[in-house]
A and B are shown apart, each in its own frame.
Chain A
Amino acid sequence: DAGVIQSPRHEVTEMGQEVTLRCKPISGHNSLFWYRQTMMRGLELLIYFNNNVPIDDSGMPEDRFSAKMPNASFSTLKIQPSEPRDSAVYFCASSLDGNEQFFGPGTRLTVL
């Protein structure tokens, strides 16, 4: 298995632009997680899905952030409009039984 796949790996955009991050979980996994990591705040859980349904989005910072999981093999995290403070590394992770999460390589987002 290729593991969790994220794209793009790096994204540089200007303030106000829309940004879409993509994630393909490991086949057969039923939980998917989006995290954000910054030096100041560490690793934060933004939202997680179970069987494609959002279960907990309490970590989503504000309405500019939205996440979807249209099917078991794909999820997106969208920021519109983006701001410089959104600059971070965004990780996607998936899990089958909740005991072990497998993380992707991350997307490094820079908002100028």
Chain B
Amino acid sequence: DAKTTQPNSMESNEEEPVHLPCNHSTISGTDYIHWYRQLPSQGPEYVIHGLTSNVNNRMASLAIAEDRKSSTLILHRATLRDAAVYYCILRPYYNQGGKLIFGQGTELSVKP
């Protein structure tokens, strides 16, 4: 399975944008890029996913590099509730069951 590399931790100020990077240099042409986050004492929750084009939803935006070897999760205005561990995960397209392999993720702290 292709692996991802994320910084262990990042800090942000409330109401400022946050850019969470993810490197996946061994990504294959048909791997989807998924992001999940885990708030303290909760189960992980889905944030966003994409294949090649940039994606937006109500929670965040996903910017994917042209060569797909890296991606960035963008939180447009961080709130205290966004403090969580963010996981970047690759899922092969043929994996219709949706099996996900979680790494260590990036722990995001948000300062008021």
Contact = CB atoms under 8 A, between A and B. Distances in A.
B112 interface: no
Query: SS class of chain B's interface: helix, strand, loop or mixed?
Result: loop
Contacts of B103: 42
Query: SS class of chain A's interface: helix, strand, loop or mixed?
Result: strand
A56 interface: yes
Given A42-B103, A42-B104, A95 B43 contact: no
Contacts, number: 61
B3 to A, nearest CB: 13
A101 B91 CA distance: 12
A98 B95 contact: yes
Given A42-B104, A43-B44, A100-B46, 9 more contacts: A42-B103, A45-B102, A50-B96, A95-B98, A98-B91, A98-B96, A98-B97, A102-B46, A103-B44
B102 A101 contact: no
A45 B91 CA distance: 14
Chain A contact patch, size range: 20 to 34
Contacts of A71: none
A56 to B, nearest CB: 6
